[in-house]
A and B are shown apart, each in its own frame.
Chain A
């Protein structure tokens, strides 16, 4: 269970409060207008930002004082999710052995996970020689192999086209869910949020408690209705 215990984040001209818990498994979408603090919330959960108040807990363990690398959390950013000078297998291997001292068993595991994401035999290639979609698959493979139970996605597929983005999300759901990993993703797209299991609306300085996405969209809260109205006009 992910628990945000009375969390408050303030920055110049900006504040965000969250006080709720979410069950493990499935996909939880953070939706809301730009600048409302979706990425900020992920930064707090992943440890890049220390909250002014409150605690972040995972399975009852207080994460608040831990560095990003010490948390049971994987995160995919909007860009720079791969090291461009390392090969695909090495990039994936970092999820397994952060010091890259890979054993033969590690190499086999990497080959397996590359096959899972549809990149068999691409281990020696450099990210620069791959398409945007293939690069996303490599990053996903690393998240998969690292086995950290909580996966945060800060719009890592934003640069892809709509069809590829859906494909990547489906793949993420399929492979991560199979390992029981919990996915939290930031999105602007109501359709993507609808397809998630749970929705957190981030607006007006508050990240609301997660609710199942079907009732959330069937009977939108004022904040969600305002956002959807905005989206509808565009």
Chain B
């Protein structure tokens, strides 16, 4: 067989170096935590309960998200209405929504003094509590229902319009011949993705869970580190979590999952069938309920936060400035790393870009602190470590935004660049960077927003005068200063979405061919 010469032989060493760095960082952090353990580790009943709870809540969350998403996606696929495009865009928002903000919104609706309970009490029914398993599941459904809807919508759009027309002309049941087989193909993969996302949940469990009956593994790691300073247990739990996730990721390779990043979902399915009024009303109800479920908590944040914004205490503004610095720092760090990985490609890059999804943020942060302790005072470096950890956690998303585009550019322009003998630096400047501008902007926006809203490592190490905005907000909520917390939530929401918007917009730039 004749050998294909490699198109665009971009040097591979930067990507290899980044991959090695990421692997060393995660491996070194885990090893540092494990080696720092003093006593032999045993898992108690509480730890096993945490493992069980993690699996149960993730299964419930992913099952409910996907089940509810099917009718919503179906309704969105076949209905055209004013605001459809805006609603679908909004479905992408929870991904970059700070978890703590969403939780405050959910508390305002479903919490003790929330709207739902007000109605229940008025109707003479006992109030419900949002804390515990159902609260955790509720929050996870809030975050993952939109993601599932978008992914399932892609499945509907993958059915060619001609098939719908053919089925209509044959008077064949569309559901049985087209839709059910399509769902059968894509739902297992989507359910698995949501399951994996929910497995490492920390901020949701921290705020709505807790106690012996509602603790996730990541939360158990937090408690082991923060309250017991039991490094060995934290490392062991992290290894268990990693094992579960790695096994599931490997299993997930068998399912095809549509990539939702950067894809346009604005085109409704060509629906040639005439539906009965009942069907149309049902679709309207599903869309309406889903929109209400997603918009109500955000609406409450807007309404309650706005008046408190002006009166926010100075420390909250300082925390906002710190968070902005952390977000910009992790973006500046993660985007070049992701670019190097994406340009390199191959298994090593894919592995390094997937590892952060399975690793424990808290253990990574703790490991870095242990490694730094002999040289510097770690608490003064809390924000830098947070930025570094956030950069690592953002890598998978940035990589997935860049890698398909890199492949496309390579296929379209690789031979030309090769035959012109453009040197590597010129290729980066004149081919890769301008052609990748859009996904780079999108990736930067995502990392900045995720980092801005992150409540993870900083929860472990924030000392006085070092808290980030999500941390400040969490503390305000803990002190029941709900009005100030509402103002901080609105500020955080605005900054996260604003960062995403600014970077994404910058990436689009002037319209180019």
Contact surface of A with B, Cβ cutoff 8 Å: 9-12, 40, 44, 46-52, 67-70, 73-75, 77, 80-86, 90, 94-95, 98-100, 126-128, 146
A46–B3 CA distance with the chains assembled, in angstroms: 13
Q: Which chain B residues numbered 415 to 473 have a C-beta less than 8 Å away from chain A?
A: 415-416, 418-423, 425-426, 429-431, 434-435
Write out, one digit per residue, whether chain B residues 3-16 have a CB within 8 A of any chain A CB (1) or not (0).
11101010000000
Contact surface of B with A, Cβ cutoff 8 Å: 1-5, 7, 9, 412-413, 415-416, 418-423, 425-426, 429-431, 434-435, 512-513
Interface centre among B2, B3, B420, B425 (most CB of A within 10 A): B2
Do A77 and B415 touch (CB < 8 A)?
Answer: yes
Nearest residue (CB) in A for B3 is A50
Do A70 and B421 touch (CB < 8 A)?
Answer: yes
> Which 5 residue pairs across A and B have the least CB separation, nearest first?
A69-B421, A128-B513, A84-B513, A99-B426, A50-B3
Do B1 and A52 touch (CB < 8 A)?
Answer: yes
Do B419 and A83 touch (CB < 8 A)?
Answer: no
Given contacts A10-B2, A51-B2, contact A126 B512 (CB under 8 A): yes
Do B513 and A98 touch (CB < 8 A)?
Answer: no
Given contacts A50-B2, A85-B434, contact A98 B512 (CB under 8 A): no
Do A10 and B4 touch (CB < 8 A)?
Answer: no
Given contacts A83-B413, A127-B513, contact A94 B1 (CB under 8 A): no
Q: How far does the Cβ of B429 sit from chain A's closest Cβ, in whole Å?
A: 8
Residues of B within 8 A of A83 (CB): 413, 416, 430-431
Nearest residue (CB) in B for A51 is B2
Q: How far does the Cβ of A92 sit from chain B's closest Cβ, in whole Å?
A: 11
Residues of A within 8 A of B512 (CB): 84-85, 126, 128
Residues of A within 8 A of B423 (CB): 98-99
Do B421 and A52 touch (CB < 8 A)?
Answer: no
Nearest residue (CB) in A for B431 is A83
Do B5 and A50 touch (CB < 8 A)?
Answer: yes
Show 15 A/B contacts (Cβ-Cβ < 8 Å), sorted by A. A11-B1, A12-B1, A48-B415, A49-B5, A67-B5, A69-B418, A70-B421, A73-B419, A75-B415, A86-B430, A98-B420, A98-B421, A98-B422, A100-B426, A146-B420
Do B2 and A49 touch (CB < 8 A)?
Answer: yes
A46–B418 CA distance with the chains assembled, in angstroms: 10
Q: How far does the Cβ of A88 sit from chain B's closest Cβ, in whole Å?
A: 12
Residues of A within 8 A of B420 (CB): 69, 94-95, 98, 146
Do B5 and A47 touch (CB < 8 A)?
Answer: yes
Do B513 and A100 touch (CB < 8 A)?
Answer: no
Residues of A within 8 A of B431 (CB): 83
Nearest residue (CB) in B for A15 is B2
Residues of A within 8 A of B1 (CB): 10-12, 52
A50–B1 CA distance with the chains assembled, in angstroms: 9
Residues of A within 8 A of B3 (CB): 49-50
Q: Choose among A12, A68, A128 the residue that contacts B419 (Cβ–Cβ < 8 A).
A: A68
A74–B434 CA distance with the chains assembled, in angstroms: 24
Q: How far does the Cβ of B422 sit from chain A's closest Cβ, in whole Å?
A: 5
A128–B510 CA distance with the chains assembled, in angstroms: 14
Known: A47-B5, A77-B415, A127-B513. 20 other contacts (CB 8 A): A9-B2, A46-B419, A48-B7, A48-B415, A68-B5, A73-B419, A75-B419, A80-B412, A83-B416, A83-B430, A84-B512, A85-B512, A94-B422, A94-B430, A95-B420, A98-B423, A98-B426, A99-B425, A100-B430, A126-B513
Q: How far does the Cβ of B150 sit from chain A's closest Cβ, in whole Å?
A: 29
A67–B7 CA distance with the chains assembled, in angstroms: 10
A82–B512 CA distance with the chains assembled, in angstroms: 14
Q: How far does the Cβ of A139 sit from chain B's closest Cβ, in whole Å?
A: 9
Given contacts A49-B2, A49-B5, A67-B5, contact A77 B416 (CB under 8 A): yes
Given contacts A77-B416, A80-B416, A126-B512, contact A85 B435 (CB under 8 A): yes
Residues of A within 8 A of B419 (CB): 46, 68-69, 73-75
